[in-house]
Chains A and B, each alone.
Chain A
């Protein structure tokens, strides 16, 4: 597979900052967000808004569990997702616990609850529905190794920092909106009224002076861990191993793998369910990965177009 950016051999060694022309770049910095210890306090959301002066996202009760932010947007650079679900497996002795039971039994079920949760059982039960999970996950820009947003930005407003992160320069961005469609994670967004694209800067102003990003600083349980990416990857691998040992087989990493479709994320996660459950794409790919082939196909089409014209004029004499 041809890769437009693979100038530097093995993908593991690929350092986006160096590739972007930084000489003597510091180690690549990023986030490891361990959702298994997230308590959904949203301190990260608030800290980000306060530090970066991000405007209000609106006063909407969304009914999506405790998520009233909804998604990462130009006005929410951190977003805590809340997923209520019955446990995928396990000791389900609870008459009311089997939502899956209710729907697979074929009985017509009336759905009243959280959209996205399956219809729950009907019977009150002393056993309760305690085999129930409430997943929380603080989402953020992934600062991709191969960032779609950055690749397609026609103004150079998006750039790669010396820390390997991806940042919008607000004085350059003209709001063309291309980055919005090019992000395979649906992160970057154009702000209504302002017209420019905004997203997490990984607190470029803070990390530049050796500080921790505001969200990680505020996180009480160290769900958000900030540091050199290599170190974080080791830590994450160890954490997954521990969780597996302790009987949490569903723990898995997401975005940590430098050989994935975006060359690995600068902000990666430990998840307890499939990525799409949290609103993440299961196998994201940077769109520019196919760009050479796209140009080739366009070239063929362009030739066809020219040929068509030639034929049209040479093909007859009327």
Chain B
């Protein structure tokens, strides 16, 4: 063997394994999906499963992922059909062709940091609103919890965002321009405005701990009013912070994100509120947590309505929200939300139950964010979600012209 020889790439191995898996069942990715229905327990044979791992974890949408979602998903919609052996096809198979089943789009290069950021940003936004409300209605414990959570959330957000950059040391290049066509640029400026405000508000909470004299004494006196102003400012920005991320995702070519643009902001707004509320439920005694409970209900309501619309009103590109890893996460999120809200309402007297339901709401928000994130990634990886809706659109246009 030649020592200079480079190792055969991972890409090749995966491709071969996929073919091996497709093997005798005859699943040319480009052929009619009817032929692509692999036995239920097979490794992923999904078209476009270039990211599929060898071990059999269904990381990509397609036949296998669909199978995995079947059975556990109680909400069989009218469109679903039950196939042989309990196998379910999420949507009626449609003819489509592709280039060796390869994705047309580049799947987002973003990794878990961005999904986590969706959560931390939302948490910060929800917390700031909670804190401001508490501030205005005189609930210091709730205010403190909100402000501190907001700072933690926004700090984590910053770290996550920088971590996800290909060139983290260049994060400040974001500040070169302000571009309304770039939600990320808008978000950068939102964060730039929000961060210091939330920070100041949180720092103000430490004022009582400062010495009374000297320069720090001055700070001790100055901080509470500044904190109040900053807290209100942060709350003023918070709704933008909580919802712009929906635009961030929607303003892409990723089919399931882009298609969801009318409803995604609702989900994110709701999720932000619910997570903020969840934090409140954990942090303060049940007696002071009334607004948090109501916030949880409001947030959960928005989130559930939004998510329902996302999962049902988008036609084919809704499918990734229902199947595979994303489907599981979103179902978990929904369940946790319901549990959280129920706990918040029913366990209003118990600190433990309250805290538990708060945690459930936080977990729900995490699950929802990751679910939405993964649904998008999955939709970009499978050329079906790119080709079929666009074909339909072309057909519609052609029909309109005919008329």
Contacts and interface: CB of A to CB of B under 8 A. Distances in A.
Any A–B CB pair closer than 8 Å:
yes
Interface of A: 4, 58-64, 70-71, 81, 83, 103, 108-111, 114-119, 148, 151-157, 172-178, 180-191, 194-197, 274, 276-285, 287-288, 290-291, 293-295, 297-306, 308-313, 315-318
Interface in B86-130: 96-106, 108-110, 125, 129-130
Contacts of A308: 269-270, 273, 295, 298-299, 302
B30 interface: yes
Contacts of B103: 71, 186
B166 A290 contact: no
B59 interface: no
User: At the interface, is chain B mostly helix, strand, loop or mixed?
Assistant: helix
Given A276-B98, A282-B390, A180 B298 contact: no
B254 interface: yes
B19 interface: yes
B198 interface: no
A3 B38 CA distance: 44
Instruction: Give 6 nearest A-B pairs by CB, closest first.
Output: A175-B166, A195-B166, A279-B99, A301-B265, A318-B290, A302-B239
Interface residues on B, range: 35 or more
Max chain B Cβ within 10 angstroms of own Cβ: one of A173, A287, A310: A287
Interface string B200-243: 00000000000000000000000000000000000100111011
Contacts of B28: 111, 115-119
Given A156-B179, A309-B273, A108 B26 contact: yes
B29 interface: yes
A154 to B, nearest CB: 4
Given A157-B173, A186-B253, A190-B166, 10 more contacts: A63-B19, A115-B101, A116-B28, A155-B173, A177-B110, A182-B253, A183-B253, A305-B242, A310-B133, A316-B291
A305 B102 contact: no
B253 A287 contact: yes
B40 to A, nearest CB: 18
Max chain B Cβ within 10 angstroms of own Cβ: one of A148, A180, A194, A308: A308
B77 interface: no
B335 interface: no
Contact of B170 (A4, A59, A174, A294): A174
Contacts of A71: 102-103
B262 interface: yes
Interface in B1-58: 6, 8-9, 11-12, 15-16, 19, 22, 24, 26-32, 35
A194 B268 CA distance: 32
User: At the interface, is chain A mostly helix, strand, loop or mixed?
Assistant: loop
B290 A176 contact: no
A154 B394 CA distance: 31
B136 A313 contact: yes
Contacts of A300: 265-266
A299 B261 CA distance: 12
Interface stretch (B244-252, B316-324, B360-368): B244-252
Interface stretch (B149-157, B183-191, B351-359): B183-191
Nearest to B236: A306
B104 A175 contact: no
A294 B250 contact: yes
B106 A110 contact: no
B294 A311 contact: yes
Nearest to A301: B265
A278 B387 CA distance: 12
A313 B242 CA distance: 19
A302 B97 contact: no
A112 to B, nearest CB: 9
23 contacts: A81-B99, A111-B24, A115-B29, A152-B184, A154-B174, A156-B173, A174-B171, A181-B254, A181-B257, A276-B99, A276-B104, A277-B97, A279-B99, A281-B386, A294-B265, A295-B247, A298-B240, A298-B243, A300-B266, A301-B243, A301-B268, A312-B292, A316-B290
